[in-house]
Amino acid sequence: MGRIRLKTLSRLGVVAAVAIGVVAPVAHAATAGQVTTLPVVAGETPFSATLAGDGDYWYSADSLTSSGDIGQVTPGGVATTIIPSATSEAGQLLTGPEGDVWELVGEFTRTSGSPIFRFGLDGTETRFDAPGSYPNLDSITFGPGGDIWYLQDPTGTAPLVGRFSPADGSFNAFPSLPAAFDNSNAGSIVSGPDGALWFEVFPAGGATTGPFGIARFTTGGTATLFPYPANVVAAGPLVPTADGLWFVAFTASGSVIDRLSTDGHLSTFAVPTAAPQPTGEAAAGGDGNVWFETGTADIARITPSGAVTQFPLPDGTDFNQDHVSSLSSASNGDVLLADDALNVIELISTGSPATTTTTTTSTSTSTTSSISTTTTTSSTSTSTSTTTTSTSTSTQAAPVVTGVRPRDGRGGTLVIVTGRNLHLVSDVRFGPVQSPDWFVLNHSLMLALAPPHAPGSVHVTLTTPGGTSAPSAADVFTYDRAVSRRFR
């Protein structure tokens, strides 16, 4: 109990997309949808995976005895824990231009901040801490020139964009975004096909009004906001491809898949009702298509023209329980699935289409998004500390709720919950009452159904193996005086 089931997800058309950079189409000999399964070290649960420069697959993982392990598995299936308990929790992995592996830890519990770690192919570990009074980084991506670009979300102000240089370890922070971005939070930052950085913007703290759209940020510091269409109430993170930025848009009547071109042209693709509905994460494949998880625990792809094809995954793969199986792009064109239900890394080929699959084509419409704000800023350089650290044992951080939307409703209201450390949620409470259904989209976004409750305000709290979220003003949900409907 306690998970939003397939029937609910099909109605909502839910998806959350996570992608790193743009993957150029490459030739691939394997058949599209062919899956190769590689086991991780026994007892480990993979969170994120990447293809490193040594040809092996590196992954971040948690286990029953430690958190933040860094592991490695060869194409032949030999798995090794490279650095046990490297960080306080498993985080987002990237492969750098030199082939080494980088990780952002979302919530570092041993000290304040969320540092960036570099793991050399020889197993060495180097930690980089952002300076200043707000050292927490929310998302990273490699951008032009091999620099790492990051987002920060200081409370009560606009998101901050910065650049980290792997060459000299310096952090270059840009001044605050313009007033149009005030009181907003940012999603995942990605590198677009135009050489700019792109990220989602939404009202801070679960507010119902405020900046809501997609931001473009140039390496020179120019920020542009493209508002979402008026009928969009929520949207998934961005997946960059050669032809634009893809995302799933949620509307009152369901969901659609949208693509924003770099010049602001919006194309909308309605996934056919007979096609598998997206319910998990998504990534760009080397074939130029976007691949996404489905409610039937399979994988599917959508082409630039809107054609959808479904491919089976191994039995036991589970996207509808307490699992957040991370989907990412590999440099060889494959899509990688860090399957935390089967505790394996699945290599999904994006090569020539299989003859046994069924393809359905969606309808497509196009509109042009208006530009809300364009502002030019300049960057300033700040200090950094770089240390090479030894490993230590740590525990998973407790979840943190940073917002709920809407802020009021009744029993049966679908509530969007934002926060940190939301993977492996095992309990959701509205006050003392458990939610009858919930679904975790990624480590910072989930959905929950409000249970029946008497009128009044309650805290929405989440429980994971790391603990229970502390009540705060950001997690307050108010029940209307109208009678809450009961579940059947």
Task: Check residue 290 and give its pLDDT.
Answer: 92
Per-residue pLDDT tens digits for 416-464: 887 777 767 889 999 999 998 886 665 666 778 899 999 999 999 999 8
Per-residue pLDDT tens digits for 271-311: 766 666 666 578 898 888 999 877 666 788 999 998 988 88
Q: pLDDT band for position 479 (50/70/90)?
A: very high
Say which range, 96-100, 190-194, 206-210, has the weakest mean pLDDT. 206-210
pLDDT at 112 over 60: no
Say which range, 19-28, 118-127, 156-165, has the weakest mean pLDDT. 19-28
Average pLDDT, the chain: 75
Task: Check residue 317 and give its pLDDT.
Answer: 65
pLDDT at 243 over 70: yes
pLDDT at 57 over 60: yes
pLDDT at 396 over 80: no
Task: Check residue 28 and give its pLDDT.
Answer: 40
Highest mean pLDDT among 157-166, 198-207, 352-361, 411-420: 157-166
Instruction: Find out whether 405 and 448 touch, Cβ atoms under 8 Å.
Output: no
Task: Check residue 261 and give its pLDDT.
Answer: 93
Per-residue pLDDT tens digits for 263-275: 899 998 877 666 6
Going along the chain from its start, the domains and CATH numbers come out as: 6-387 (2.130.10.10), 400-479 (2.60.40.10)
The pTM of this model reads: 0.69
pLDDT at 357 over 60: no
